[in-house]
Amino acid sequence: MSDDVPLPGSASVGELLRLLRDGVPRTRNELTTVTGLARSTVRARLDMLLDAGLVSDGGNEASTGGRPAGRFVFNARARAVLAAEVGATHATVAVTDLTGSPLAVRRIEQDIADGPDVVLPGLVAAWRAMLAEADLGSVRLAGVGVGLPGPVEHSTGRPNNPPIMPGWNGYDVPARIGAEFDVPVLADNEVNLMALGEHTACFPEAQHLIVVKVATGIGAGFISNGRLHRGAVGAAGDLGHIVAPNAGDVPCRCGNAGCLEAVASGAAIAAALRAKGIEADTSADVVALVRSGNLEAGKAVREAGRDIGEVLATCVSMFNPSLIVVGGTVALAGEMLLAGVREAIYRRSLPLATGNLRIVGSQVGDRAGVLGAAAMVVQHVLSPAVVDRQFA
Amino acid sequence: MSDDVPLPGSASVGELLRLLRDGVPRTRNELTTVTGLARSTVRARLDMLLDAGLVSDGGNEASTGGRPAGRFVFNARARAVLAAEVGATHATVAVTDLTGSPLAVRRIEQDIADGPDVVLPGLVAAWRAMLAEADLGSVRLAGVGVGLPGPVEHSTGRPNNPPIMPGWNGYDVPARIGAEFDVPVLADNEVNLMALGEHTACFPEAQHLIVVKVATGIGAGFISNGRLHRGAVGAAGDLGHIVAPNAGDVPCRCGNAGCLEAVASGAAIAAALRAKGIEADTSADVVALVRSGNLEAGKAVREAGRDIGEVLATCVSMFNPSLIVVGGTVALAGEMLLAGVREAIYRRSLPLATGNLRIVGSQVGDRAGVLGAAAMVVQHVLSPAVVDRQFA
Q: Report, as an integer, the average pLDDT of A215-219.
A: 90
C-alpha–C-alpha distance, residues B172 and B117, integer Å: 11
Instruction: Answer yes or no: do B232 and B263 share one domain.
Output: yes
Contacts of A314 in chain B (CB under 8 A): 242-243, 311, 314-315
| pLDDT mean across residues, chain B | 91
Instruction: Answer yes or no: do B65 and B87 share one domain.
Output: no
CB A338 within 8 A of CB B249: no
> Looking at the domain assignment, is residue A2 inside a domain?
no
Chain A contact present for B355, CB below 8 A: yes
Return the HEC string of chain B.
Answer: CCCCCCCCCCCCHHHHHHHHCCCCCEEHHHHHHHHCECHHHHHHHHHHHHHCCCEEEEEECCCCCCCCCEEEEECHHHEEEEEEEECCCEEEEEEECCCCCEEEEEEEECCHHHCHHHHHHHHHHHHHHHHHHCCCCCCEEEEEEEEECCCEECCCCEECCCCCCCCCCCCCHHHHHHCCCCCCEEEEEHHHHHHHHHHHHCCCCCCCEEEEEECCCEEEEEEECCEEECCCCCCCCCHHHCECCCCCCCECCCCCECEHHHHHCHHHHHHHHHHCCCCCCCHHHHHHHHHCCCHHHHHHHHHHHHHHHHHHHHHHHHHCCCEEEEECHHHHHCHHHHHHHHHHHHHHCCHHHHCCCEEEECCCHHHHHHHHHHHHHHHHHCCHHHHHHHHC
> Looking at the domain assignment, is residue A7 inside a domain?
no
Which CATH number goes with the domain that contains A82?
A: 3.30.420.40
Contacts of B40 in chain A (CB under 8 A): 3
Domain assignment of residue B177, given as a range? 78-195+369-391
User: Smallest Cβ distance to A356: which of B3, B232, B352?
Assistant: B232
Does the pLDDT of residue A298 top 50, yes or no? Answer: yes
Does the pLDDT of residue B79 top 80, yes or no? Answer: yes
Instruction: Answer yes or no: do B169 and B318 share one domain.
Output: no
Return the HEC string of A110-150.
Answer: CCHHHCHHHHHHHHHHHHHHHHHHCCCCCCEEEEEEEEECC
Contacts of A311 in chain B (CB under 8 A): 314
User: Smallest Cβ distance to B39: which of A3, A151, A231?
Assistant: A3
Instruction: Answer yes or no: do B213 and B358 share one domain.
Output: yes
Say yes or no for a CB contact (<8 Å) between B227 and A232: no
Does the pLDDT of residue B63 top 70, yes or no? Answer: no
SS3 A176: helix
C-alpha–C-alpha distance, residues A85 and A133, integer Å: 20
Say yes or no for a CB contact (<8 Å) between A33 and B233: no
Chain B contact present for A233, CB below 8 A: yes
Say yes or no for a CB contact (<8 Å) between A1 and B353: no
In this prediction, the answer to ipTM > 0.90 reads no
Residue A4's pLDDT band, with cuts at 50, 70 and 90, is very low
Contacts of B239 in chain A (CB under 8 A): 317-318
Say yes or no for a CB contact (<8 Å) between B242 and A33: no
B153: closest chain A residue by CA: A352
Does the pLDDT of residue A2 top 50, yes or no? Answer: no
Residue B2's pLDDT band, with cuts at 50, 70 and 90, is very low
Chain B contact present for A294, CB below 8 A: no
> Looking at the domain assignment, is residue B4 inside a domain?
no
Instruction: Answer yes or no: do A168 and A284 share one domain.
Output: no
> Looking at the domain assignment, is residue A3 inside a domain?
no
Q: Which helix (H) or strand (E) holds A348?
A: helix A335-348
B353: closest chain A residue by CA: A235
Instruction: Answer yes or no: do B120 and B226 share one domain.
Output: no
Q: Which helix (H) or strand (E) holds A158?
A: strand A158-159
- For the segment A58-73, what is each residue's pLDDT rounded down to a tens digit? 888 766 667 778 899 9
> Which amino acid makes up residue B100?
G
Domain final residue, candidates B23, B47, B74? B74
CB B266 within 8 A of CB B253: no
Does the pLDDT of residue B150 top 80, yes or no? Answer: yes
Instruction: Answer yes or no: do B25 and B85 share one domain.
Output: no
Burial B130-169 (b: 16+ CB within 10 A, else e): bbeeeebeebebbbbbbbbbbbbbbeebbbbebbebeebe
Q: Report, as an integer, the average pLDDT of A185-208.
A: 96
Instruction: Answer yes or no: do B326 and B213 share one domain.
Output: yes
User: Smallest Cβ distance to B319: which of A15, A36, A236?
Assistant: A236
Residue B162's pLDDT band, with cuts at 50, 70 and 90, is confident
Chain A contact present for B305, CB below 8 A: no
Our count of domains for chain B comes to: 3
> Looking at the domain assignment, is residue B55 inside a domain?
yes
Does the pLDDT of residue A3 top 70, yes or no? Answer: no
Q: What is the 8-class DSSP label of residue A7?
A: P
C-alpha–C-alpha distance, residues A338 and A305, integer Å: 6
Say yes or no for a CB contact (<8 Å) between A318 and B318: yes
Contacts of B41 in chain A (CB under 8 A): 36, 38
CB-based burial label for A31 (10 Å; 0-12, 13-18, 19+)? buried
Q: Report, as an integer, the average pLDDT of B255-271.
A: 91
Q: What is the 8-class DSSP label of residue A69?
A: P
Q: What is the 8-class DSSP label of residue A45?
A: H
C-alpha–C-alpha distance, residues A348 and A312, integer Å: 9
Residue to test with chain B: of A34, A319, A348, most B Cβ within 10 A: A319
> Looking at the domain assignment, is residue A132 inside a domain?
yes
> Looking at the domain assignment, is residue A358 inside a domain?
yes
Give residue B10's pLDDT: 65
Say yes or no for a CB contact (<8 Å) between A353 and B235: yes
SS3 A1: coil
Instruction: Answer yes or no: do A257 and A338 share one domain.
Output: yes
Instruction: Give contacts of B 316-335 with A, CB under 8 A.
Output: 317-322
> Looking at the domain assignment, is residue A113 inside a domain?
yes
Which CATH number goes with the domain that contains B56?
A: 1.10.10.10
CB A79 within 8 A of CB A140: yes
Chain A contact present for B44, CB below 8 A: no
- Tell me the angle at which helices A13-20 and A39-51 cross, rounded to the nearest 10 degrees: 70
Of all residues in chain B, the percent with pLDDT exceeding 90 is 69
Chain A contact present for B149, CB below 8 A: no
Domain final residue, candidates A31, A57, A74? A74
Q: Which helix (H) or strand (E) holds A300?
A: helix A295-319
Residue to test with chain A: of B165, B310, B352, most A Cβ within 10 A: B352
Instruction: Answer yes or no: do B125 and B30 share one domain.
Output: no
CB A273 within 8 A of CB A286: yes
Residue to test with chain A: of B30, B253, B319, most A Cβ within 10 A: B319
Residue A209 pairs in a beta bridge with: A223, A323
- For the segment B210-259, what is each residue's pLDDT rounded down to a tens digit? 999 999 889 999 999 999 999 998 889 989 988 888 788 888 887 778 89
Contacts of A29 in chain B (CB under 8 A): 1
Domain final residue, candidates A27, A52, A74? A74
Nearest to B263 by CA among B325, B319, B309: B309
- For the segment A10-38, what is each residue's pLDDT rounded down to a tens digit? 667 888 899 999 889 999 989 988 877 77
CB-based burial label for B330 (10 Å; 0-12, 13-18, 19+)? buried
Instruction: Answer yes or no: do B183 and B106 share one domain.
Output: yes
| pLDDT mean across residues, chain A | 91
C-alpha–C-alpha distance, residues B202 and B93, integer Å: 20
| pTM of the full structure | 0.89
Angle in degrees, CA A371, A356, A369, rounded to 5? 10
Give residue A136's pLDDT: 85
Instruction: Answer yes or no: do B252 and B318 share one domain.
Output: yes
